[in-house]
Structure 1
Amino acid sequence: MAERRTRTTAARATAIAEQLHHESCILLELYRKKEKFTVEDLVADRRLVSVPPPSSQLDTGDTLWRLHSALLQCRSLLERAIAKEEQELGGGKKGDYETMRKMVRDRLSLLLINTELLRAVDGAAVFTPNLDGLELEGPSSLFELKLWIYRIFKEVEHWSKTAITTLQGLPPVMDKERARGARLRSMRSARR
Structure 2
Amino acid sequence: MAGRSVNGRHGLRGHAGRTAALARLLHKECIQLLELYRNSESLPSSPVDGGYLVSVPPLVPQLSDAEKICILHAALKECLRLLEDVITREDEEFSNEDSEYKRKRKTVRDRLGHLLASTEQLLVDGQKFEAKVKEELDGQVASGSFGLKMWIVRVLQDLVHWTGQTSDTLRSMPAEMEKAPKTMSRRTRRGAGKIKK
Q: TM-score, normalised by structure 2?
A: 0.80
* Root-mean-square deviation over aligned CA pairs: 2.3
Distance in 2 (alpha carbons) for counterparts of 1:87 and 1:130: 27
Does residue 1:29 correspond to 2:35, yes or no? Answer: yes
Deviation at 1:145, TM superposition (A): 0.2
Q: Secondary structure at the match of 1:118?
A: coil
Which structure has the larger Rg? 1
Aligned residues of 2:53 and 2:134 also touching (Cα < 8 A): no
1:159 corresponds in structure 2 to 162
1:170 corresponds in structure 2 to 173
Aligned residues of 1:73 and 1:134 also touching (Cα < 8 A): no
Q: TM-score, normalised by structure 1?
A: 0.82
Equivalent pairs, count: 176
Aligned residues of 2:54 and 2:133 also touching (Cα < 8 A): no
Distance in 1 (alpha carbons) for counterparts of 2:22 and 2:133: 28
Q: Secondary structure at the match of 2:122?
A: helix
Written as runs of structure 1 = structure 2, the 5 A alignment for 1:141-160 is: 141-160=144-163
Structure 2: give runs of 5+ residues left out of the alignment. 1-6, 187-197
Give deviations 1:38-75, integer Å, cap 9, x for gaps. 246x4322110100011111123311111101111111
Deviation at 1:160, TM superposition (A): 1.0
Q: Secondary structure at the match of 1:150?
A: helix
Give deviations 1:46-105, integer Å, cap 9, x for gaps. 110100011111123311111101111111111111111111222x21121110000000
The letter for the 2-side match of 1:86 is D
Structure 1: give runs of 5+ residues left out of the alignment. 182-192
